[in-house]
Structure 1
């Protein structure tokens, strides 16, 4: 299978459909080995068990591959592009880069999945024109038909059973739109309305204390208070009414902070691209994605809801 069709867009984003460990290794090990033989930078970000499979199969060559456990580094899909993929690729702009990234695996929750599918769709925009190949494995035995169909819509190239094909279902913008789903909060969620900057200190105390009561450590509660501050400040500065409604609650093993305002996030890449010191602004959502274990956004011209979850 080719890593890049000749004369085409230099960025290549295949989905690999596999069954079992043997198919997984038979496709990925040669892909990695070829990259190493060519002397290019190679990275792998897959869930822990798969990472160990690849490490063992590569033997000594594994020392030349940058490896990350995607279940940790990519727990929040919103930080995979800036914190994993671009963080590696941007260090090697003068040569072809190969990355294996597996952001969707059996065990991802229904709450996480919409953000995962949007992430896969947005990779295409984040890397257009870059000399990079990002190969995304999909477990045909462990994932449902929705996830497999979405993979065909978010990847322009499909690898399966040793063959390569162009995806006739490729429609990443449709996937981004489909998972722009309304987000709700429980009726008994604690509520704080912020309509002026002077209320921010009280809001931070409200979130920090509430997060601790719900079971977060003090350090993670402080992180959630910082997340809330970034989101609410953005509402105060960039929305028509300059106000935000914050809600806080616990759902299972997560504490959720929700901020709702009447603004509109028109750029789906907001918070997903690295920023340089010469680029003003744009760091609020990037920081939120970095700190939270999951971020979900629902946005329309009449308003936006952001939910940031921290695991207890």
Structure 2
């Protein structure tokens, strides 16, 4: 009888939260983390992402070691949506990680100017990072300044990071919640579309749904280029429905407000349980949700609803008027 192949256990993710309330605490937490990365053998320069003022603090504190650190403004890194931020992080990791995948990366997310809905998405993004990087070797630390991050955001950070890194070293976060539990799909129905919404039932193949969405977006004032991109985004959802055998039973509803255009794909059968659907980048082997990766890159918001029977994907993009 063949013996099962022995596989070493996957290394636990190092995804720390670094909570601080002063510049002194910030330096006490971050400088040793960066110096650890600098000293590590076969590891590239560590990355520090924070505000320009704090980058200057780090340069002064590190002295000559600063030349071994890659400094980036957090406003550049955390631009766009969480899906855009994830794509940016994965691209950086692929381009800079060492031969064994090691690298030290620390970043301070941007909270100023975020709406409550955007904040909710970015806190789920932190849970997503714990999920996606488990079993991979980078050393990650996310920074939360209690002077600028709202208390609820700091609380959420302790729930989405397995460990907390402070002046006394690393300790387990007592509030940590498993990523899939923290980011569980909502079973509350999405808000009802307006009665004058355009409808397509069934949505047909990806070409048909793309054409319907692009034409509707153009008619509602979106530029041709952006209308085509939104059609592409929705096509990712219809391709996923087809892969699940739900396309013939699905319907599509589209409407707009002064600020955004919204399209919802609904089914009355099948189930989705993965809160991170579409967040995993396409790999060498095709997956049913590969198209949803592109959906998330294009749309401002993507909401998943898991009902007792059937599911919905609601996609929203900013309405960029033509002319």
Scaled by the length of structure 1, the TM-score of the pair is 0.79
Conserved 8 A contact 1:239-1:261? no
DSSP-derived class of the 1:107 partner:
coil
Shift of 1:179: 6.0
Aligned length: 301
Q: Does the C-alpha gap of structure 1 residues 253 and 15 become closer, same or farther in structure 2, counting only changes over 3 Å?
A: farther
After superposition, residues 28-39 of structure 1 pair within 5 angstroms as: 28-38=30-40
Is the 8 Å Cα contact of residues 43 and 65 (structure 1) preserved in structure 2?
Answer: yes
In the TM superposition, 1:19-168 aligns within 5 A as 19=21, 23-38=25-40, 40-41=43-44, 42-45=46-49, 50=51, 53-54=54-55, 57-58=58-59, 61=66, 64-65=69-70, 67=72, 69=74, 75-81=80-86, 83-91=87-95, 92=97, 94-103=100-109, 105-160=111-166, 164-168=170-174
Compare CA radii of gyration and give the structure with the larger one. Answer: 2
Mind listing any 5+ residue stretches in structure 2 that lack a counterpart? 1-8
2:264 pairs with 1:242: no
Q: Mark the CA change 1:106 to 1:302 in structure 2 (over 3 Å): closer, same or farther.
A: farther
**In structure 2, what is the equivalent of residue 12 of structure 1?**
14
Unaligned runs of 5+ in 1: 1-6
Please tell me whether residue 224 in structure 1 is matched to residue 230 in structure 2: yes
Cα distance in 2 between the residues matched to 1:103 and 1:142: 11
TM norm structure 2: 0.77
Which deviates more, 61-70 or 208-217? 61-70
Q: CA deviation at 1:157?
A: 0.9
Pairing partner for 1:298 from 295, 305, 308: 305
Question: Contact 2:254–2:264 (CA<8 Å) still a contact in 1?
Answer: yes
Q: Secondary structure at the match of 2:184?
A: helix
| Alpha-carbon distance between aligned partners in 2 of 1:264 and 1:104, rounded to the nearest angstrom | 34
